[in-house]
Amino acid sequence: MERSVLLVDPDAARQTRIAHSLEGTDYRIAASAGDSEKGLRLAATIHLDVALVGTALGNGAGIQVTERLSKEHNVPVVLLASGSLEPPAVKLAARTGVMGFVIEPIQAAALRATLEVAVCRFQELRALQQESETLRQTVEARKVIERAKGLLMEVGRISEAEAYARIRRKSMDTQRPMAEIAQSIILSAEMSLKAR
């Protein structure tokens, strides 16, 4: 499966070397930019699987574009670095969503392996984030349902099972989620209390 790459690097010679390194592989340069703003504009208009961002963009632009590509455009980022990276720079890059580093001199096999690992890890991370969000919503829905059950039990002097059955029945009758029905019950109870 071919993967599209955004290359953001002010060094035209390095852009050419990277393009040659990816020839004959599953990775192709879909777009390239010499500055971060153009890179972000391109990311907004084309489908990308991964981005390669040069740390030579200056003024922290490499870190900023990394964070925006990762969070706003859902694209994993691999940083291109000239020479060694200092530990504080690595830590900062990791916090902004960097999925890997490639340090010059760039070796074609290492570049392809780093891109593949970055794409795979990013997909795994996104799947975990989605699963976490689904679980969070489930827990919140259960809290709301429990609160509504308690209100029904108190006001209607009914059992917990009957309160749950009423919420469930109303959910089925209206084809709305139980949490939504429960929220309506809570809202109604709060309005009744204010009216007193």
Amino acid 156: pLDDT: 87
Amino acid 120: pLDDT: 93
Amino acid 162: pLDDT: 94
Amino acid 56: pLDDT: 63
- Report the candidate in 106, 3, 96, 113 with the shortest Cα–Cα distance to residue 48: 3
C-alpha distances in angstroms, 61 versus 10, 36, 117, 159?
A: 11, 7, 24, 61
Q: Which domains are assigned to the chain?
A: 3-106 (3.40.50.2300), 132-195 (1.10.10.10)
Mean pLDDT in consecutive groups of 10 residues from the start of the chain, 196 residues: 92 89 90 91 94 74 81 91 73 80 86 93 93 95 95 91 94 95 91 73
